[in-house]
Structure 1
Amino acid sequence: MSTPPCSPKRGPIPFGDTNLVPSPEQRKEEHADLISALPSASVPEGLRKLRLYQGFWLPELFVPAAINLQQRFEPRCDDVIVASFPKCGTTWLNALTFATMARAAYPPAGDDHPLLRLNPHQCLPFLESLFQGGREAELEALPSPRLMNTHMPLPMVSGAVPGCRVVYICRDPKDMVVSRWHFFRRHRPELPFKSIFESTCDGVTSYGPVWDHVLSYWRATIARPDKVLFLRYEELLCDPAGHVRRLAGFLGMSFSAPEEEAGTVDSIVQLCSFGHLKGLEANKIGHLNPLLPIPRDALFRNGASGDWVNHMTPEMASRLDDIVAEKMRGTGFTFSEL
């Protein structure tokens, strides 16, 4: 299959508005022998068994997606992928990237902006869902430029670099653990915090270990800063407008002088702000998807940095920090650059 030519920058269309006819799902037996032979582990949230595939603990359900992404994903030169480890700012970055890229078709201050009626995750196709069920044709049918989302570590979407642009966000693992615990308590209220903490320290968590996930994108941004933009959640919180400008520049869509004068950047920041998104009806009702029976409002609990101090003892925090520091030793990476 040939790679389609780059298109003019018109911005992505909301995936939830495409009205594409879902592709027939592939046979569930595909890759079954390979998957059954992989090491397995359970997770404390109790939703998914994990399988160790190429050094990462992936949800068993999405191992076929990883294989198919490696074998079948054909990026277009103007594709953009938003990537993250779960609970590290995915929803916010999805919204900011969509609003930035689609601002010509959907002015961020407009009364009919898709983010006013759709959850940010409805605006971007989730690559795992499409490639797990043999629904790649839905992705192929999207007009360019396409904007996509994934939690996969970079080796599973290795064809994306240098084929297209990737925007990655990381977060202090301590806050990630707290966010993950609160998120899955909506499904299992009795879930102990310690179980989420221990699984993270052991590296046996969905898409983990978290340090290897982060390093896969960190090394890529060092090698190809023109293709991989690496963001820290804490820095984005401190200066959202500055990082929206940085994002737009990376995407080749820098804000014009008239846009700056009109306050377009501030409009994007306000549209996508935690408080604004949390108050919208689209983010209060419904569930994330049939595979994850957790209410959408679970995505908008706190949004702050440093909440870990309310849940971890100093000893727990020190232990996780020490583990991460050891895993990152010699890489040049640190979670704290403020």
Structure 2
Amino acid sequence: MAALSTQCVVGPVPFKDVAAAVDDDRSSPPEEHGDIVSDLPSSTALGMVLRQYRGSWVIQERVTGFISLQRRFTPRPGDVLLASPAKCGTTWLKALAFATMARGAHPPAGAQHPLLRMNPHECVPFMDELFTAGQDARLEALPSPRLMHTHMHRSLLPASVTHNPDCKIVFICRDPKDMLVSLWHFLKGVRPFTFADLFNSACEGKSPNGPIWDHLLGYWSASKTSPDNVLFLRYEEMLIDPVGHVRKLARFIGQPFSHTDEAAGIPADIVKLCSFDKLKGLSANKAGSYDGKIFNFSHESFFRKGVAGDWVNNMTPEMAQRFDTIIEDKLRGSGLTFK
């Protein structure tokens, strides 16, 4: 394999390698915003207490972390923030973005690539969880350029990020019906509830990080008004042309592939390294677990099917019609559709 272009920025570094060396000055959830949380509207769904914060229904334990993030997070030039509703291709996007940005230090075809020894969520930190646990010092310890992720609505992000031309946001979504099915399979191992429970909560807009339509519209609208700062991706389109989307991602973050990179097959190597079958078959993703601060998930649970259209195996035609009608109504006039 030919050498990678020396023009490429080297970075980011795997989060797990840095976090292990950081001794946080705080190791418990921030308590200073508890009074704000107690005054917020509440709802119980799927065995969880949700609080309505800035229009979003948030798991109660996360609200103080969100407030802390808004007040404490300091962005840096070159920061790249991946954003998504849960179960919309987050794991895949983390792998692709990390492999793309770190290709100078870690050629994707190399035998020692970090993604071969750790789960993608260990390479790219979930900033919501770090602030929830009072472990934001670990985020500060990351050298630039930093690659991070959030499930927060755009309306919950600090203005220092949303109004900062030096920060790039990459948002990924998928057919909301597939999202619900995938979320149910993912969460039922830690919170027993039926698919009907999740479906009805989502239809009411009161599922975790709901309403889903507001989540979508926030980033969709931003991608239209600020296309240089917000890239809007669809999971189904990425499945059809993953190499093309890796090229689009690289251009967006300011690290386009050079002629040398293309001749060396770097974009295709990134897609191969990050393919569903490749990642699912790795020992790092067959064993171990991910500490989500509130829930603990096995690495294996992040790799179920990785396909589009699986909702037909879990959702009745009547449910699909109801949900499609709700989504279509909520998105009407925006230009965003899922037909």
TM-score, length-scaled by structure 1 = 0.93
| Contact preservation (8 Å) 1:186, 1:295 | no
* 2:182 aligned with 1:179: yes
Give the drift of 1:141: 2.0
Separation in 1, partners of 2:338, 2:235: 10
Change (3 A) 1:27 1:217: closer
Query: Secondary structure of the equivalent of 1:42?
Result: strand
Give the drift of 1:27: 6.1
Q: Could you list the runs of 5+ residues in structure 1 that have no partner in the other structure?
A: 1-7
Residue 10 of structure 1: aligned partner: 10
* 2:263 aligned with 1:261: yes
Change (3 A) 1:299 1:27: closer
* 2:219 aligned with 1:238: no
Give the drift of 1:334: 1.3
Aligned residues: 326
Q: How does 1:86-101 map to 2 (within 5 A)?
A: 86-101=86-101
Separation in 2, partners of 1:27, 1:326: 38
Give the drift of 1:186: 2.0
Q: How does 1:143-158 map to 2 (within 5 A)?
A: 143-157=143-157, 158=159
Change (3 A) 1:23 1:126: farther
Separation in 2, partners of 1:95, 1:219: 26
Give the drift of 1:294: 2.6
Q: How does 1:71-150 map to 2 (within 5 A)?
A: 71-150=71-150
Separation in 1, partners of 2:220, 2:119: 28
Residue 202 of structure 2: aligned partner: 200
Give the drift of 1:28: 4.5
The AA in structure 1 aligned to 2:90 is T
Residue 168 of structure 1: aligned partner: 171
Separation in 2, partners of 1:242, 1:60: 39
| Contact preservation (8 Å) 1:162, 1:227 | no
The AA in structure 1 aligned to 2:196 is K
Separation in 1, partners of 2:133, 2:294: 12
| Contact preservation (8 Å) 2:30, 2:68 | no
Residue 160 of structure 2: aligned partner: 159
Identical amino acids, percent of aligned pairs: 53
Separation in 2, partners of 1:25, 1:118: 23
Residue 5 of structure 1: aligned partner: none
| Contact preservation (8 Å) 1:40, 1:49 | yes
Bigger mean CA offset, 129-138 vs 292-301? 129-138
Q: Please give the root-mean-square deviation of Cα atoms over the aligned residues, in Å.
A: 1.4
Residue 249 of structure 2: aligned partner: 247
Give the drift of 1:59: 1.1
The AA in structure 1 aligned to 2:209 is Y
Choose from 28, 31, 54 the match for 1:29. Answer: 31
Q: Could you list the runs of 5+ residues in structure 2 that have no partner in the other structure?
A: 1-7
* 2:69 aligned with 1:69: yes
Query: Secondary structure of the equivalent of 1:49?
Result: strand
